[in-house]
Structure 1
Amino acid sequence: MRGMIEEITAALGANGLILRGGFAFANSDEAPDGVSGVPAKSVLLVGQAGADPWPHFLRWRKQQPRQIANPLDTWSGQVIGAVAEAFGARAVSPSDKPYLPFQQWAMRAEGLKPSPLGILMHPQYGLWHAYRGALLFEDEIALPEHDEAIHLCDGCVEKPCLKSCPVDAYSAEGFAHQACLAHVRGANGGPCRGGGCLDRNACPYGTSYRYPPEVQAFHMASFASL
């Protein structure tokens, strides 16, 4: 089994993606179907740390139609789907409907907790990571137990991530989606459109993994087009 994990890791790494942990579903879980339609027994999460997939995505993007919808999701789905096919798994994505509980899976797989922005806080990557998909297996995969990750937000007294947004989009009440969207689309939203969420960028952790401005601008453009 270790050999298969290493092979999957190498296949994903060819496109800048990484394995983000996994687990075996318990009998009490409502496990999604595997590749043949029977409930899966194990899941491996696939994602990124920093912007490593970006150059691979850009090379692929140049060969696609200009108006392709959701290009990053499409690219991720193709890459992860090819790996799934090679290893007898079913590939699923956070954008698939009905939605699967990716955030709950991620917390279970890596022992992470949400930051005040809702993004899971990683002890190494900070807020600069993402989950792009998952591999569902109909066999149980033995994975090492993970330690509970240090939740860096607990020791962060100043909470700059809640003080940098011009419209206070994040608060104890949750995310003010419409206020954020109106600001990003508006005349004063240029810094957010061009350089990413000011609250997210204010976080002091994982800064060496921070997405470059062009990557953040891409995600902001996708958000603003909703």
Structure 2
Amino acid sequence: MDYDNIARAAAPHHLTIVGAFHPTSDDAVPHGTGTLVLLAPSEPGFWPHFNTEPEARDGEPDPMNRWSTRVITGIAETLDAAALFPFGGPPWHPFISWALKSGSIHASPVSLLVHNDQGLMISFRGALALRETIDLTPPRLTPCLMCHAPCETACPVDALSEDGYDTAACHAFLDTPEGADCMENGCKARRVCPISQDFARNTDQSAYHMRQFHK
């Protein structure tokens, strides 16, 4: 078992490895886990692919989560691993703390997670708990070190800062006409991240997640 095996299993579903680490007993993973691997959408092409899937077309609630459950559980079975998800709680799996141990996902100046290749557009569809302790890629420095941090001033209501996320202010703004841009195109702070701008995430996908957030 190695990165290539996992990547090949995930690729047909437009999923990619965005981080991995060797957990300890303090990391709230299934007993016997040697490596935890985080999966996220790969671009370009994730959103068009998802929209061909049964869950996207059956009219039932939570299509993305149901798709993630089916697909990642299938990948896990192929790899003799356990599938874990950032939804379905409580209890909730600690995806944020897992991400920060991955070596490729970091805390940004606005408290959101930032990925070396996906920027502030990083989002998790699930994780694989492998029995094997596989070789990992070397950790990477946060991309924020060399960035002028446009994310710090992009939010129209200053809902994001290093002190946390003022979700009440965000929701209130999204209820106004001025909030339509964020609702239709995605969070402004996420969009201005230079790495996010190079990550070809479909605008319709961002709008979908904003609707899920702002229910």
Work out which of the residue numbers 164, 189, 198 in structure 2 matches 1:174: 164
Matched, 1:29 2:19: no
In the alignment, is the contact (CA less than 8 A) between 2:15 and 2:41 conserved in 1?
A: yes
What is the TM-score of this pair, normalised by structure 2? Answer: 0.87
Alignment match, 1:195: 185
In 2, the alpha carbon distance for the partners of 1:216 and 1:112 equals: 20
What amino acid sits opposite 2:95 in the alignment?
A: F
Alignment match, 1:152: 143
Structure 1 residues 77-226: aligned runs within 5 Å? 77-97=69-89, 98-137=91-130, 139-147=131-139, 149-157=140-148, 159-225=149-215
Q: Shift of residue 184 of structure 1?
A: 0.9
Q: Shift of residue 18 of structure 1?
A: 1.0
Question: In the superposition, relative to structure 1, how do residues 210 and 118 fare at CA in structure 2: closer, same or farther (>3 Å)?
Answer: farther
Structure 2: gaps spanning 5 or more residues: none
In the alignment, is the contact (CA less than 8 A) between 2:105 and 2:142 conserved in 1?
A: yes
Question: In the superposition, relative to structure 1, how do residues 177 and 85 fare at CA in structure 2: closer, same or farther (>3 Å)?
Answer: same
What amino acid sits opposite 2:167 in the alignment?
A: H
In the alignment, is the contact (CA less than 8 A) between 2:9 and 2:75 conserved in 1?
A: yes
% identical equivalent positions: 30
Greater CA drift, 161-170 or 54-63: 54-63
Structure 1: gaps spanning 5 or more residues: none
Runs of 4+ in structure 1 over 6 Å off: none
Deviations, residues 149-207 of structure 1 (Å, cap 9, x unaligned): 222222323x2212122211112432110110111122321111111111211222242
CA RMSD of aligned residues (A): 2.2
Task: Report how many residues are paired.
Answer: 214
What is the TM-score of this pair, normalised by structure 1? Answer: 0.84
What amino acid sits opposite 2:85 in the alignment?
A: S
In 1, the alpha carbon distance for the partners of 2:97 and 2:32 equals: 18
Q: Shift of residue 64 of structure 1?
A: 4.0
In the alignment, is the contact (CA less than 8 A) between 1:31 and 1:39 conserved in 2?
A: no
Greater CA drift, 71-80 or 184-193: 184-193
In the alignment, is the contact (CA less than 8 A) between 2:84 and 2:126 conserved in 1?
A: yes
Deviations, residues 65-92 of structure 1 (Å, cap 9, x unaligned): 31x2221111111110111112221111
In 2, the alpha carbon distance for the partners of 1:218 and 1:15 equals: 19
In 2, the alpha carbon distance for the partners of 1:116 and 1:128 equals: 14
